[in-house]
Structure 1
Amino acid sequence: MWAHRLGAAADFSPSQVPTPAGRRYPVSTVAEFDDMSVLRKPELDDVVNSESTSSVRSSSSLGQAVTGAAMPTDAVDPEKCQRMAQQEEPGSLQPDPPFSIFSRVQKIFIVFIAALTTVIPPLTASIYYPVITELAKDLHVSVADINLTITTYLIIQGIAPSFVGNLSDEAGRRPALLIALIIYIAGCVGAAVKANYALLFVMRTLQSAGGSGTIALSLATVSDIVTSAERGRYTSYVQMGWMLGPSLAPVLGGILSQYLGWRSIFWFLAIYASVVWVTSFAFLPETSRDIVGNGSIPPQRWNMTPLAYLRRPTKREDAAVPSKSEAKASSTRVSINPLNSLKLFGDKETCVLLLYSGLIYASSYMVLSTLSDQLEEIYGLETIPVSLCYLASGFGAVTSVLLTGRILDWNFRRHARLVGMEISKQKQQDLSRFPIEVARLQISIPALMLAGVSLIAYGWTMQSRTYLAAPLIFLFLQSFGSSSSFSGFNNLIMDLNRKKPGTASAAMNLARCWMGAGGTAFATPLVKNGGIGWLGVTIAGIWFVFSPLVFLVIKSGARWREEKRLREMSETEAPSGEMTAT
């Protein structure tokens, strides 16, 4: 008898109460039975039999000792109790739901669409570099005026994701992406149709406002569907999009402008974004865990794909219901606060990672923004050959994507084995006692060292006018090292801010774009006055000077995380305590 076995237990724990079927209730379930009032239901009176009555009577004394209240001895049937518990607490007797119900093929498809969208911001920023002079002539303005549109684009690119990322956390990834792409397409069409500098300036602002948020949305989408154990590989696929953009953009811009005119650049961007929009509208599901949980909770009808709307799926049995702090009913008013991304800079660990990753990303902009002039001045190359040289950086980024993501996941699994943590792609790991900083930055630091050495070699081989192959090889290595290091920082930031991935991605974009804009403005006079060789030395020197901050994160990151957790717990408990006292 289950009561007899319970009474024979030497060490009783409420979390280990056996059920008639040999299962065990969790603590939360037993706590609900503490006053046993839930058992005294009228419908149970007619199902009492002699065996269950004697069993319950034999356990009444134990129940009184445990709960502090006398257990009813004539109102409980164990089998009925079990059935009732299953109805009232279905999740308590079921295994934990998977982290995501999406299959591997579905995850790859979602990440593929995300990667397509991340190409847009860097592609738009750099694609008309080869036609700056032509634009200035056609619009009857100076080259400085055209460069002002680039500066404005980068500034808006740093601000807009704070709105888009926060909107995606509140309303969902899918509507935020579709709205952003519509704004972007409108800017591209307007720039292609009208030949006016003022309108071009406004349209470039619209392009930046709409397109720049796609990176934040893509990283947030990946965080929704994959666990920390496999985040490295999937994040690298998304990262490939925005790392390839600056390398491919000059090539596309040069070819399109030479054969079809500069307007074709904006038509190309509009067509590309339209294809992405149609694909996303038709096939991309909502992934925000605040809205769909692990993907098994249907979103609002207006937020479904056409096929999902026709099927009208019901809630699955293995649905992961968002917690009270995460759940957002479809009727809840959306509250957009772009300052949420700035709040992340107030967290010590996240702030250090954001700023240092911004330095890494800014270095790529500094190198690529000065590459064209140096190739023309030192090697006498024309537009198309200059554009093709950018592919060296692109190949380095692609190689990094193919290798670094798998290495990050491998190192995560290695550290998990060292601490005895079980790894499952369907369960999000508890990182509170896991050295996640070490697992990520152990890959980033060696890659950053490779990038620094390659940068110095790239600058001096080009300034020494060696064979063109030499600086291009070092450009490839620099791109590989920077992309690999950047990937580790990105994954760590997302690991630390899993509850608000859209906001975290927006903060990352803010640091990247603003530091990239400052670095680009600083690079041109530095190369002009000191030469391209000193550019690499300067960048590597800045990395070295601030590198102790990275080692500080490795040493103190776990302690900072625990302090943050305790602080958030105290802030959460304080209002509830005040309400109780009231």
Structure 2
Amino acid sequence: MEEEDTSTEVETEGKTHQATPSGQILATGEPESEAPVQPPKYSVYTLWEKRLIVLAASISAFFSPLTAQIYLPALPVLASEFHVSDSQINLTVTTYMIFQGVTPMFIGGLADSAGRRPAYVICFVIYIAANIGLALSKSYASVMVVRCLQSAGSSTTVALCQAVVADIVTSAERGQYIGITAIPIVLAPSLGPVLGGLLSEYLGWRWIFWFLTILATADLIALLLFFPETCRRIVGDGSVRAHPVYRTFWQMIKDWRQARQQKRRRQREREHGLARTATNTSAKSKIKFRLTPPNVWGSVMLLFEKELGILLGYSAILFSGFYAIATAIPSQFSQLYGFSDLQVGLMYLPMAGGSIVAAFIVGPTINKNYRRHAAKLGLGPVDKTRQADLSNFPIERARLEIGLPLLALSAMVMICWGWAMQYRASVAVPCVLLFLMGVGMIGFSNSVNVLIVDIYPGKAGAAVAANNLTRCLLGAAASAVIVPMINAMGAGWAYTLIGLLYVVGAPLMWLVMRDGIKWRKEIRDKEERKRLKKEEKERKKNGQTEAEKEVDTENGGDEAVVASPEGGGKKTEEN
């Protein structure tokens, strides 16, 4: 597939510049300076601005896993109200997960080409409309259909969150931010059943969806007012002035105030006869707003690349274990320990606590290991504000050296969990194991997510969408088969089998660390050959066009006016 040129032309004070996907604003048509040029800052945003932007994206990503889990306590009530079986009502959960995996391939690709803000607006408009439809549903068929739309609206917010981090955060500090974005993914499944049970019991099941409607509407308004466009194809490092659609209400107010100040300044200059001063030095994007069709196959084709295919496949296997535990917790703890629905919901909290610990410990550790490798290669002090060239940097080793010990922890805890359930250990034992599972599984997942964004910074939306696809499909399969597995072979051997899958696949991570640089070089060489081939075709096409113009010009010059016997004139061609 030919790669699309994602550079953006910008103008500043009459000079032509170019905003690259990496956010660098490069001057063109000017002589190069002999002095070494310091790499530009990766983003114009300050530390706290980046934190607030990532926090806003993380809050938006909270809706996808929350919506999947908050609905579960109301399933028996819905089955009774619509007169369907438990198996039929459970299909609304299965279809939700299928759309959760497929939809980000469409909107994630759209976000990479048309921008993050339009993608967020599309997601939340669909999501809010679907929640209103579910709250007003009067039949099982309507719940089934609108539940799919609800999933389509919420599922892409996770991929968008990861893409926003790639837009504004460098590789040197990306670990900590990716860790923070993982918190909603695990915290929501813990809080969702509790909130859903309370709303369903005291206000009725329809209020679950009215509650989500209110939250989503408030979040959409906040995004429109304050969340800036971060897509580097549109705004570069954040300094490029884009189409008004990409600008927040707050930015438009600042623009209006600045325009008024400039108008007053020019008026004073005219009155006093002063020379006009430059008033606007910010770059202006020439990209016009348009919703281009998303490249769906772009996300699918990423699965067939060596490095990313291995990372996504193994990460999906790891996360299927998470779904295998989370899905079986209600039946296991109600049967073995006699827990009520509220007590079962509280059992998800230890895993959420472990994920929070992983976010605040594993993230900084990933950054520290990155700096260690940079120092080992003699790259000097790492500047967090500037993106380093990772072409020959062992970024796979820097990330996975932290992830592999956490992977080993996850495998051991998975096996111990199965036998703890098999022999009905004290409640304290599964609580500790769930906490450790949150640390190990989410910590390893964070390291893989950081690596994926490092490898594909310009296609973060498509890459994370592919990651979401593999996770959701394998997660749906694990959710469907874990209870029959436990019934057939016992909890001990069922979870031991999953833990052994972790161990068997671990050498693939070593392969990624060993050959990652070589695989990335192969991809760059392949893309370069495609680019040269495309340029050669354009040159040939332009050459043919010029030749046709020359022929037309020569034919036009051969025409002459000859006097007719009647005294008039007519055109003839000379032989």
TM range (shorter): 0.7 to 0.9
Q: Which moved more, 1:245-254 or 1:361-370?
A: 245-254
SS in 2 for 1:216: helix
Question: C-alpha deviations, 1:352-372, integer Å up to 9, x for none?
Answer: 001111111111111000001
Aligned twin of 1:308? 251
1:241-293 Cα deviation digits (max 9, x unpaired): 11212122112112222222222211221111112111111100000000000
Pairwise CA distance, 1:335: 3.4
Q: Is the 8 A contact 2:110 2:291 kept in 1?
A: no
| One-letter amino acid matched to 1:523 | I
Contact 2:170/2:385 (8 A) holds in 1: yes
Between the two proteins, the alignment pairs up a number of residues equal to 492
User: How big is each residue's C-alpha offset from its partner over 1:112-142, in whole Å with a ceiling of 9 and x where there is no partner?
Assistant: 1111111111111111222221211111111
Letter in 2 for 1:101: V
- The answer on whether the counterparts of 1:296 and 1:316 sit within 8 Å (CA) in structure 2 is no
Aligned partners of 1:395 and 1:476 also within 8 Å: yes
Secondary structure of 1:145 counterpart: helix
Give SS of 1:531's match. helix
Deviations 1:215-254 (A, max 9, x none): 1111001100001111100111111111212122112112
1:515 matched residue in structure 2:
474
- Structure scoring higher RCO (CA < 8 A, sep ≥ 6) equals 2
* Structure 1: runs of 5 or more not aligned: 1-27, 29-85, 322-326
Residues 1:221 and 2:164 aligned together? yes
Question: Is it true that 1:119 corresponds to 2:77 in the alignment?
Answer: no
- Partner secondary structure for residue 389 of structure 2: coil
Q: Give the TM-score normalised by structure 2.
A: 0.82
After TM superposition, give the deviation of residue 396 of structure 1 in Å.
1.1
Aligned residue number for residue 242 of structure 1: 185
Q: Deviations over 1:140-162 (max 9, x none)?
A: 11111111000000001111001
1:546 aligned onto 2:495: no
Counterpart CA distance in 2 for 1:129 and 1:107 is 35
1:421 maps to 2:362: no
C-alpha separation in 1, matches of 2:202 and 2:358 = 33
Q: Deviations over 1:83-119 (max 9, x none)?
A: xxx9963996875431100111111111111111111
1:440–1:492 contact (8 Å) kept in structure 2:
yes
Identity of aligned residues (%): 40
Which one of 102, 109, 113 corresponds to residue 166 of structure 1?
109
DSSP 3-state at the match of 2:457: coil
Equivalent residue in structure 2 for 1:397, among 341, 346, 355: 355
C-alpha separation in 2, matches of 1:579 and 1:387? 61
- Tell me if the contact between 1:133 and 1:143 (Cα under 8 Å) persists in the aligned partners: yes
Structure 1 letter corresponding to 2:30: E
Q: SS of 2:509's equivalent?
A: helix
Are 2:369 and 1:411 aligned?
Answer: yes
Aligned partners of 1:97 and 1:318 also within 8 Å:
no
Q: CA deviation at 1:489?
A: 0.7
Which moves more between the two structures, 459-468 or 476-485? 459-468
Establish whether residue 535 from structure 1 lines up as the match of residue 494 from structure 2: yes
1:330 positional shift: 1.0
Q: Which runs of 4+ in 1 moved over 6 A?
A: 313-316
Contact 1:98 / 1:318 at 8 angstroms: preserved in 2? Answer: no
Report if aligned partners of 1:455, 1:475 keep a CA contact under 8 Å in 2: no
CA deviation vs aligned residue, 1:467-505 (integer Å, no higher than 9, x gap):
111111111101210000000111111111111111111
The answer as to whether partners of 1:462 and 1:532 remain within 8 angstroms in 2 is yes
Give distance in 2, aligned partners of 1:123 and 1:235.
19
Counterparts of 2:87 and 2:386, CA distance in 1: 53
Query: Taking structure 1 as reference, are residues 252 and 432 closer, same or farther at Cα in structure 2, changes over 3 Å only?
Result: same
- Distance (Å, rounded) in 2 between the aligned partners of 1:123 and 1:490: 20
Which digits, 9 at most, give the CA deviation of each residue in 1:353-408, with x for residues without a partner? 01111111111111000001000000001111111111111111111111111111
Aligned runs of 1:342-357 on 2, under 5 Å? Answer: 342-357=300-315
1:188 is the counterpart of 2:188: no
Which blocks of at least 5 consecutive residues in structure 2 are unaligned? 1-16, 18-26, 260-278, 544-575
* 1:365 is aligned to 2:334: no
Report the RMSD for the aligned CA atoms in angstroms: 2.1
Q: Which has the higher strand share?
A: 2
Alignment partner for residue 139 of structure 1, among 57, 82, 98? 82
The alpha-carbon deviation at position 536 of structure 1 amounts to: 2.0
Partner of 2:573: none
